[in-house]
Amino acid sequence: MLTFPRWKYFAILLVLILSTLYALPNAYPLDPSVQVTAARAGGVAIDKALRDRVAAELTKAHITADSVAIESKDNLLVRLPDPNVQTRAADMLRPLLGGDYVVALSLAPTAPKWLDWFGAKPMPRGLDLQGGVHFAMEVDQKAAIDKRMDAFQEDIRATFREKRILYSSVSRTGPATIGITLKEGADNDKAQNELRRMFPTYQVGGEATRLAITVPDAGLRQLATEAIEQNLTTLRNRVNNLGVAEPVIQRQGTDRVVIQLPGLQDTAEAKRQIGATATLEFRAVVGDEAQAAAALADNRVPPDARIYYDQFHRPLLLSKRLLVSGDQLVNAVPGIDAQRGVPNVSITLDSTGGQRMLDHTIDNVGNRLGIVYVERIPETKIVDGKEVHSSRIDERVISSSTIQGVFGKDFQTTGLSREEAQSLAKQLKAGALAAPMSFVEERVVGPSLGAENVKRGTTAVLYSFLFALGFFLLYYRMFGLITCLSLLLNLLMVIAVMSLPFIGATMSLPGFAGLALTVGMSVDANVLINERIREELRAGMPPQAAIATGYDRASGTIFDSNMTALLAGLALLLFGTGPLKGFALTMIIGILTSVFTAVTVSRAMATLVYGGRRKPKSIAI
Amino acid sequence: MKIFPLTLLPNDANINFMRLRWASITLAALLMFGAIGAMAFKGFNYALDFTGGALVEVRTDQPVDIDDIRKDLGKQGYDSAQVQTYGSGNELLVRLQPREGESSTQATTHAKEAVTRALTTAGATNPHILRSEFVGPQIGRELARNGAYALAFVVIGFLFYIAFRFQRKFALAAIIATLHDVVVVAGWFAITGHEFDLTVLAGVLSVMGYSINDTIVVFDRVRENFRGMRASPYEVLNKSVNQTLSRTVITSFVAFLTVLALYIYGGGSLRGMAESQIIGIIVGTLSSIFVACPLLLWFGVTKQDLLPKAQDEAALARRP
């Protein structure tokens, strides 16, 4: 009557073993450590020579490391006794090793190697548990689209010139439209076909001398998405320069990027690096300084040019046509000009940029080339009690030297101070942002607070378990013990599932709350069963039958009540942000595992104790 | 022979809950309107997550006078700075709105500097920043919207699920009872003025899961008894509530204990969440007994509502 299939016992045993295995890595403490990796893939070798050098430097600085070893490929790990020494070691190593290496603070797991063979890893900890910086940045979508629309106009002008389609103007006539006025006698059909070839998914229309291209909503969304994707790449490069062991850079929603930098504390420097919006623009110089001053004086700037200023605020006329922009830059290295001894930046362009530069310099040897340094400085103003984000653009001509010869994708530029050259090279190398971004959220958690949070979280979960277990042992005796064991297995299973790498869960403070709440919610299934058994016993059923009926009858209720609780958890997971997702995930996993432990595992235990041929007269419940 | 050593409630509980239905429903309605009134007129003490602004948490060696800090921050251009103390009075939480014309990039740096300066002026030694935050106003709007979506998702999900597994009247009664709990918990935060942050929102939403769970267990028994008992709906409902009473009390008691542990040991960041759950568990337990079942009776639930056969006959009748 009270029986349980043997294979299910084995299944439970297997679950127990697997859960223990995958939950185990979390039990080992994390070592404060300094991680050294190559700044660029394949740049410098992480080898024994480096290990010895680092070890020697540490000894010289009187820092005793627990170990200095290459623990995985391309990753030198210095394990240190405490966080203070960790910071000191990193600060000491960073300038010594130079820009070819990334020296980052990290927390290294101490779990034994054999656990790694099973892919068992400790759950990554959220910033609230280990300290660090969280940024959310928002892309200025309007500016991103504006920038692309400007580029489209430029492309149209260039193509029309090339195909000899005579036009008198190409200009933006609406938020998503570009209007083109052709000259009398120009071939409208040819122009339309050309535009359709250039923009196959956009609407092209118009007659006689007027043409219009409209970007549909889907196209605008596409442009915005491309901008944020491009920014994501750029941000990854910039964050890599910061030296953080395991940064998280994620797109969130349509216009936001979340950056998490565990272990980092200096937000000012991080923001300067991440939020920098400096880029270079290369434009042909139109006329000389005298002409520029004259144009400014009688307010007659040529239609294809614009007034720019250099650092001494002297005006200069530059072409409106953008020759090469910052996003076509591949590399930039600061150095000293060999002939003149002034600081310079050696620039490498990508192939499109290089080709354009080559085309331009072939025709323009002896003419001047202007390099404009553009920096976008975000500003927040309060207008009528509302916060308004805007940005000021700081444009400065840093060089307007004569083109000495034909060049393509490699060349040098001078005219900057040493610091400027270095900072510019760094920013250029990291890439330009496709669209301006502003910080909309910043959270910094100190490492001591993180450690305290871990302690508080574990204490809270521990006590919530103790309270529940204590009550059950007193109240249900033998079945209380069974309930306690299945609750413990439940906890083990939740931690194990959350530690599985593909779940991608991060432990956070709300995650601890989720664990505690899982206990609170999952006891329900056990209580339902135990109360049902009591009820059947009161109704006069023999013990074994009462147990079996109790389990059977409670199952339906357990299913319904857990399904609805699951719905609530799902809503939180779908609509919650950041740490709330962790809370919801813990709750959902907890609900699912609790059904298994309460219905199957506790029944197995009850059958072990009371099943078999000997019929117990009474049961302790 | 006494086979059960410990019981929280007498095994043969037979309380006439349904007789109290008008009193209990009126009381619940009053509670709900009170809570809605508090939300409408007093509003929430929204945390940084929703309002936007800057926050700095500092620890110093000895307690400082918060009035001095507030005054000094006012002098530095932060007029409406909120200063709270924590722990033994040497942990401070300062909330402030960025000064006019400040970019988001500078907001926290300036806030941190201002707080440190104010603390030094007040004579605190070794001020040490534990945590700092800056949240733009657009984030709060989005959070509020997502919270509303989540609420709608849960309500619609529950309605469909219960209507499918039980019946429409059950779904309606359960949803009203659950919304009652959510409103009362939210109202509690409005009345007490306790800070309403993101974790409290999560707590309130998880209260929905808890409360519906409680109601479903009772309803499940109602369904079972309707099928097995020959009695009036009034008696069936009373019997069902009484039969599940000890389970309801025990589950809620244990859940209460676990959340209490969270409240006591979880520290400041989890206190709001634990508080919302403590209130939610109490109200949710009471509402499943005193609100959901009386509502069910009020909606005129009958045996026929739950008999699948009756529905089949209706379908048969419609056939030519």
pLDDT at A462: 92
pLDDT at B156: 92
Q: Give per-residue pLDDT as tens, A120-141.
A: 888 888 888 888 888 888 888 8
CA distance B134 to A268: 13
Q: Give per-residue pLDDT as tens, A417-470.
A: 777 677 667 666 666 677 778 888 888 888 788 888 889 999 999 999 999 999
For residue A588, the distance in angstroms to the closest alpha carbon of chain B comes to: 11
Q: Which residues of B touch A568 (CB under 8 A)?
A: 154, 205-206, 208-209, 212
pLDDT at A427: 61
pLDDT at B1 over 50: no
A&B contacts, CB < 8 Å: 271
Angle at B123 between CA B119 and CA B127, to 5 degrees: 45
Q: Average pLDDT of B274-298?
A: 93
Residue among A340, A405, A393, A315 at smallest CA distance from A369: A405
Q: Which residue has the higher pLDDT, A288 or B240?
A: B240
Average pLDDT, chain B: 85
Task: Give 3-state DSSP helix, strand, coil % of chain B, rounded to 5.
Answer: 70, 10, 20
Q: Average pLDDT of A587-597?
A: 91
B202:A618 CB<8 A: no
pLDDT at A397 over 50: yes
φ, ψ of residue B103 in degrees (nearest 5): -85, 160
pLDDT at B311: 52
Q: Which residue has the higher pLDDT, A75 or A379?
A: A75
pLDDT at A482: 92
- ipTM of the shown complex: 0.85
Q: Give per-residue pLDDT as tens, B265-285.
A: 988 888 999 999 999 999 999
pLDDT at B252 over 80: yes
A282: tokens are 């290369």
Q: Give per-residue pLDDT as tens, A205-248.
A: 887 788 889 999 888 888 888 888 888 888 887 787 677 777 88
pLDDT at B5: 60
pLDDT at A377: 62
Average pLDDT, chain A: 83
Top mean pLDDT of A161-165, A334-338, B278-282 is at B278-282
pLDDT at B320 over 60: no
Q: Which residues of A touch B216 (CB under 8 A)?
A: 557, 560-561, 564
Q: Are B139 and A455 in contact (CB under 8 A)?
A: no
B216:A561 CB<8 A: yes
Most A CBs within 10 A among B4, B57, B185, B258, hence the mutation to make, goes to B258
- Residues with Cβ within 8 Å of B4's Cβ and at least 6 positions away in sequence, in order, are A534, A621, B11
State the pLDDT confidence band at B104, using cuts at 50, 70 and 90.
Answer: low
pLDDT at B47 over 80: yes
Q: Give per-residue pLDDT as tens, A72-117.
A: 777 888 998 887 788 888 888 877 887 678 788 788 888 888 888 8
pLDDT at A42 over 70: no
Residue of chain A with shortest Cα separation from B154: A568
**Of all residues in chain A, what percent carry a pLDDT higher than 90?**
13
pLDDT at B240 over 80: yes
List residues bridging with A383 in a β-sheet. A386
pLDDT at B6: 66
Q: Which residue has the tokens 């994390």?
A: A30
Q: Which residue has the higher pLDDT, B207 or B12?
A: B207
Q: Give per-residue pLDDT as tens, A298-316.
A: 777 777 788 888 777 788 8
Q: Which residues of A touch B157 (CB under 8 A)?
A: 567, 570-571
CA distance A61 to A87: 13
State the pLDDT confidence band at A367, using cuts at 50, 70 and 90.
Answer: confident
pLDDT at B316: 60
pLDDT at B2: 46
Output the CA–CA distances (angstroms, integers) from residue B119 to A233, B53, B72, B97, B98, in the order listed: 41, 20, 9, 18, 18
pLDDT at A328 over 80: no
Q: Average pLDDT of B121-125?
A: 79
Q: Average pLDDT of A57-70?
A: 87
pLDDT at A193 over 60: yes
Q: What burial class does residue A205 get, using C-beta atoms within 10 Å of its C-beta: 0-12 exposed, 13-18 middle, 19+ buried?
A: exposed
Q: Average pLDDT of A569-593?
A: 85
Q: Which residues of B touch A464 (CB under 8 A)?
A: 257-259, 261-262
Q: Average pLDDT of B229-237?
A: 89
- Residues with Cβ within 8 Å of A411's Cβ and at least 6 positions away in sequence, in order, are A346, A347, A357
pLDDT at A114: 85
Residue of chain A with shortest Cα separation from B55: A443
Which of B131, B162, B251 is closest, CB to CB, to A524? B251
Q: Which residue has the tokens 């940024």?
A: A135
Residue of chain A with shortest Cα separation from B109: A268
Residue of chain A with shortest Cα separation from B49: A441
Top mean pLDDT of A155-164, A390-399, B181-190 is at B181-190
Q: Is B156 on the interface with A (CB under 8 A)?
A: no
Q: Give per-residue pLDDT as tens, A540-554.
A: 888 888 999 999 989
Q: Give per-residue pLDDT as tens, A241-255.
A: 677 777 888 888 778
Q: Give per-residue pLDDT as tens, B85-97.
A: 876 777 888 888 8
Residue among A81, A78, A89, A67 at smallest CA distance from A36: A78
Q: Is B14 on the interface with A (CB under 8 A)?
A: no
Task: List, edge to edge, every strand of the sheet that includes A279-284.
Answer: A324-325, A279-284, A369-383, A386-399
A456:B267 CB<8 A: yes
Residue among B251, B266, B259, B186 at smallest CA distance from B216: B251
Q: Is B134 on the interface with A (CB under 8 A)?
A: yes
Which of B131, B142, B251 is closest, CB to CB, to A523? B251
B152: tokens are 């709608």
For residue B102, the distance in angstroms to the closest alpha carbon of chain A comes to: 6
